[in-house]
Amino acid sequence: MTDTSSNQMWGGRFASGPDAIMEAINASIGFDRRMAAQDIAGSRAHAAMLAAQGILTDSDAQAIRKGLLTVLSEIEAGRFEFSAALEDIHMNVEARLKELVGEAAGRLHTARSRNDQVATDFRLWVRDRVDATDEALTALMHALLAQAEAGADWVMPGFTHLQTAQPVTWGHHMLAYVEMLGRDRARFRDARARMNECPLGAAALAGTSFPIDRDATARDLGFDRPCANSLDAVSDRDFALEFLASASICAMHLSRLAEELVIWSSAQFRFVTMSDRWSTGSSIMPQKRNPDAAELLRAKIGRIFGANVALMTVMKGLPLAYSKDMQEDKEQVFDAADNLLLALAAMAGMVADMQANRDVMAAAAGAGFSTVTDLADWLVRTLDLPFRDAHHVTGTLVARAEARGCDLPDLSLSEMQEVHPGITEAVFDVLGVDNSVASRTSYGGTAPAQVRAQIARWKEALA
C-alpha cells in the first residue's frame, strides 16, 4: 500500500505534515488496528445506506463494498501495510480503498466524520467483547456447578476472618461463586442493552444536512436504535466505562477465588490439589507444587482496575463534544478485555481440573469448635433458653473443652450437665458436622438438599 501523507488526507488546510514527535503522539494505528473488522462493517453499512438514499450511486456503493472486503481480507491475511502517517484505522482503510476503487472511495465519507465513525467502531468492538465475556462467564459457571454437584454433601469448614466458623458443604461454597458470576453476567448483559445504540450519522457533532437514514445503518449493524443526540453520540464513552466497571467487579470475584485456591492448595490446608496443567515446580525444591496460574490471575486483576480508573480520569474533565483525549480510551479497554477473558478462561480450566480432598476437608470441618452454634441453637430449641443464656452456656463448655485439649463431642454428658443440668444425651446428635450441615435447611442454606436445589435452578437458568 502506498504511504500517503496525513496532510493529503486532511486536505489543503495544512501545508506540511507533522514532525516525528507529533506523529508519534498523534497516531493511534498501533492499537486501533484491532477495530479493523468493525470499521469495515460500519463503512459497508454506511455505503449501503448512502446508496439507498440516493446520495451515492449504486455502482460506487458496490465498488466500495467490494473494495472494503478486499481490504478486510488483506488485513486478516497479514498482508496489509499499516502506516503511522495515516494516523488511524479509518484513514488507513480509506487510503487503501482509494488504491483499489479510485475516486469512489472519496465518496464513502459523505455524511459522516471520524468522530461518529470511531464511536461506532468502538461500540461494536466493546459489544463483541461483552458477548465473548458472557460466553466465558457461562463456561466458568458450568465448571463451578460441576464441582458443586460432585460435592453437594462434602463437609468443609466455613470461615469468617479466615477462622473456622461453622461447617458448610463444598457444593455450597462453589455455589457462592456461581452467584457472584451470575451477577457479573447480568451486569454485562445490562450494559450491552444500554450500549446498543448507533452513533453513525451524528457526523462531527451536529448531525448532517444529507438525507441519511440512521435507522437503516443501526439495523444493519445490529443496534437497537440510533443515538438520539449527536453531541452525546460522539462524546459518550459510558459504554466503555460500564464495560470496565463490570469487568472490575468480575475481576475482583475472580481474584477472591484465586486467593482461595492459593490458600486451599497449600501444604497447611490441602483442601484441593491443583492439576499439573495449572501448577509449576520450584527450581530448587522438588517437593513444591506452586499455584502459579492462580497467582498470576490474582495479579493481572490490577490491570483491569487500573484501566477503569485511567479511563474515568481521561473523561472526567472533557467538555462536549469530541476531544483528542478520547483517543486514550482504547488501549485501556483493549488491555482490560484481553486480561479479563484470559483470566476467565484460566479460572475455568483450574476449576474444572482441581480435585477437592474430601477427607482433609471433613477432618478440618470438625475441628475448631465449628458446631458450637449448633449447640447454642439446640439449647434454645430444646431447653427454651434465651439465646444469650445459651450463648453463655456454650462458651463455658468451649472453655472446658479447651482446658482439656479436646473438642466439644469429646466432653462427657456429666461434664456438660455440670454447666447446665438440662442437657441430655440428644445433644450429641447436633455436634457432628454432618448433622450440622444437614440441619441448615433454610432457603439458600448449606444443607445438601438446598445445595442440590440451587444447582438445579442454575442449570435451568444457564440452559
Residues that are catalytic: 161, 282
Calpha distance 262→272 (Å, rounded): 9
DSSP labels, 324-351: GGGGGHHHHHHHHHHHHHHHHHHHHHHH
Q: Give 139-177 as a 3 state SS string.
A: HHHHHHHHHHHHCCCCEEEEEECCEEEEEEEHHHHHHHH
Cβ atoms of residues 202 and 119 within 8 Å: yes
Cβ atoms of residues 313 and 223 within 8 Å: no
Calpha distance 446→152 (Å, rounded): 9
Which alpha helices (H) appear in 265-412, and where do they start and end? Answer: 292-315, 329-353, 358-365, 372-383, 387-404
User: Radius of gyration of the chain from Cα atoms?
Assistant: 31
Query: Nearest-CA neighbor of 107 among 61, 75, 49?
Result: 61
The distance between the two most distant Cα atoms of the chain, rounded to a whole number of Å, is 101
The DSSP letter of residue 320 is S
Which residue type does 37 have? A
Query: Nearest-CA neighbor of 314 among 304, 332, 329?
Result: 329
Helix (H) or strand (E) holding 273: strand 272-273
Please list the residues that pair with 163 across neighbouring strands.
160
Q: Which three cell numbers stand for residue 368?
A: 475448631
Cβ atoms of residues 39 and 117 within 8 Å: yes
